[in-house]
Amino acid sequence: MLKLVDYYFSPSSPFAYLGHQRFLDLIFANEGALNLKPVDFGRIFSVSGGLPLAKRAPQRLTYRLQELARWRDHLGVKLNPEPKFFPVDSTLAALVILAATQDQSAVAPSLAYSFMRAVWAEDRNIADPDTVKAIVRAKGLSADDLLERAQAPETKAGYDALTQEAIDRGVFGAPTYIFGEQMFWGQDRLDFLQRALEAK
């Protein structure tokens, strides 16, 4: 039986960044497969009760920084809780990842992580096309070709469709993993996903 997990995320999500490599390791260890699905959480928040950082209460903002530092230290992952370029428009990076899944599916998960790391560990601006191209080239891919396909109408339509799919399935935060009928929200739920995968 194919253990297929749908992975809804944003390349600018710190919690997706914290969980990304552990998720990939989990999939590999359980002989699973993943559907990489970058989506627009700004649009998802607008229909699910989520708020962008600028509109969140001070208490929530303070606790969020504590959580990021706590998980960073626990996992031993390099992370700046207040990076230079955040909030950031991650649309271009998401479109590039989506374009990469079409014919570079093996490298697409690693490319997604490179964008996350650029934001949270390297203080780079993933809304800047030159930065995006540099990240793509570092993965051994053709930056001009990939960015051209990322901007194609069909890729943008695919991004919109994935976002609507996420909304229709009840996704409200990043990262979200869906396996069968079960949804797991947050990198701190990977243990539960592991149990579900091992039970199949």
DSSP assignment of 117-165 = HHHHTT---TTSHHHHHHHHHHTT--HHHHHHHHTSHHHHHHHHHHHHH
DSSP code of residue 169: T
| Helix 143-150 with 91-103: angle, nearest 10 deg | 110
The CA distance from 83 to 190, in Å, is 25
Per-residue pLDDT tens digits of the chain, which is 200 residues long: 789 999 999 999 999 999 999 999 999 999 999 999 999 999 999 999 999 999 999 999 999 999 999 999 999 999 999 999 999 999 999 999 999 999 878 999 999 999 999 999 999 999 999 999 999 999 999 999 999 999 999 999 999 999 999 999 999 999 999 999 999 999 999 999 999 999 98
The pLDDT score that the predictor gives to residue 117 is 98
Which domains are seen in the chain, by residue range?
Answer: 3-198 (3.40.30.10)
Q: Which among 126, 40, 39, 133 is positioned nearest to 84, based on CA atoms?
A: 126
The C-alpha atoms of residue 125 and residue 74 are separated, in whole angstroms, by: 26
> Whole-model pTM?
0.97
Query: Which residue type is seen at 66?
Result: Q
Which single residue is written with the structure tokens 């970058």? 38
* SS3 assignment, position 193: helix
- Strand bridging mode 3-9 / 182-185: unpaired
200 contacts 3 by C-beta, under 8 angstroms: yes
Query: In the prediction, which pLDDT does 157 show?
Result: 98
Give the per-residue pLDDT at 180: 95
CB count in 10 Å sphere of residue 133: 17
